[in-house]
A and B are shown apart, each in its own frame.
Chain A
């Protein structure tokens, strides 16, 4: 971001990271669809597990980044922390939606239903709605400082809210049902390759998340600057008009 009007949000570092992400994705696709065998119990369905837990992990990671950045914004009131929280929530919302979608696709053949009222699923769905609430408050028509402050309060409350929802749903379901369907019935030790692919998918998705976050952060930062540039240009134009007459 050295030039005032950069043509892209990339920097040498993110270019390298992007190439690493692409290569990692290619290897992951190979591992998931070609190299790894079918599961004894789940068959081809097991391949969804090479993406679903990784998505869920990055979605939660995004929330913690937003949580930390929001605290930082409330303490120091820096613009950067607000832009970072906004970027993390935006990427996190997409990841949460993908987590729910891939989970349902996996759940339908495995459990026979798209949805079970299990603590993890329900609190992830609630998290999705809470993130939408955060994005809604980032779009309100208020002065930037007011918007940032209100968004930061919502951001700080994200994590406690999800913990409260998770705890209450867990109690509710365990008090009313003997066992949830969420117990996964496969043996991790059966395949080393399975385990490796699973861990590898988490690493790759984390890198993709960092890459997306950096680009989204820079877009947000440029948006801020564009607002200021627009204001400066408008003021200059008015001044020029004044000088002519």
Chain B
């Protein structure tokens, strides 16, 4: 199963690396969202400073929807889905592979956004262990839920509009918890932020577990 997961993750990341869609389209969109927030909320006012964690995670969620769509549009053409089904790969492995590839891309997005926050919004980073742990746990949650809902919307004519409707309400707890954890980390009170990390971890585990179980029947059908 793990071998299958690495195969699928390697395939997805290789396609991304060669097609440059993630680096040339999705990352610039993430940066653009930061600039839009700067335009909307006067960068000289304290509002932007106080809202930074929330804006950061809203940007991550919006970009995550794009990345999930991209991840499943890779397999939309040329009967790739049928090929994947016939390949004999363990469905749980396929789920974990797509999950890993998505998580890796989201991690890259977060690094770029964090650099953007430091440079554009002038925030100093503090509470680094909590910040990194929050990023990883939130990432795992978003990638797991994204992969699961991504396959639910995959291959449909309405997928672009259906995916955000299905995925964003589900990701609300991630937004709440990750924003609070980041607030506490940046405010220099990481001890208050760790319970939020726990919530993120529970979310990630729930969705990874359910996705591993449910992916088989979903892949068979579609």
A residues near B (Cβ < 8 Å) are 74, 126, 129-130, 132-133, 136-137, 140-142, 145-146, 149-150, 153-154, 157, 160-161, 164-165, 167-169, 171-172, 175
Contacts and interface: CB of A to CB of B under 8 A. Distances in A.
Contact of A136 (B162, B173, B195): B162
Contacts of B166: 133, 136-137, 154
Nearest to A172: B176
A34 B13 CA distance: 69
B111 interface: no
Given A140-B158, A150-B152, A172-B176, A160 B206 contact: yes
Contacts of A161: 169-170
B217 interface: yes
A153 B221 CA distance: 13
Given A129-B165, A157-B210, A172-B180, A164 B173 contact: yes
Nearest to A134: B166
Given A133-B162, A154-B152, A171-B196, 7 more contacts: A137-B162, A149-B217, A149-B218, A153-B148, A153-B218, A164-B202, A175-B180
A223 to B, nearest CB: 20
Contacts of B158: 136, 140-141
B128 interface: no
A160 B205 CA distance: 13
Interface string B185-222: 00000001001100100110010001000100110011
A175 to B, nearest CB: 7
A191 B157 CA distance: 57
B218 A126 contact: no
Contacts of A136: 158, 162, 165-166
A133 B170 CA distance: 10
Contacts of A146: 221-222
Given A136-B162, A160-B206, A153 B214 contact: yes
B41 interface: no
A150 B169 contact: no
A153 B165 contact: no
B2 interface: no
Contact of B169 (A130, A140, A160, A167): A130
A96 to B, nearest CB: 13
A227 to B, nearest CB: 19
Contact of B199 (A140, A145, A154, A167): A167
Contacts of A168: 172-173, 176-177, 199
Contacts of A149: 217-218, 221
Contacts of A129: 165, 169
A172 B157 CA distance: 38
B166 to A, nearest CB: 4
B218 A157 contact: no
Nearest to B159: A140
B152 A141 contact: no
B76 interface: no
Of the candidates B156, B157, B202, the one having the most CB atoms from chain A within 10 angstroms of its own CB is B156
Nearest to B157: A141
Contacts of A165: 169, 172-173
16 contacts: A74-B217, A129-B169, A137-B153, A137-B166, A140-B162, A141-B156, A146-B221, A149-B217, A153-B214, A153-B218, A154-B152, A157-B170, A161-B170, A165-B169, A165-B173, A171-B199
A69 to B, nearest CB: 17
B152 A126 contact: no
B152 A164 contact: no
A184 B138 CA distance: 36
Contacts of A154: 152, 166
A81 to B, nearest CB: 15
A164 B165 contact: no
Interface in B32-73: none
Nearest to B164: A133
Contacts of A171: 195-196, 199
A169 B175 CA distance: 11
A229 B152 CA distance: 29
Of the candidates A132, A146, A165, A168, the one having the most CB atoms from chain B within 10 angstroms of its own CB is A168
Interface string B119-162: 00000000000000000000000000000100011011110001
A145 B221 contact: yes
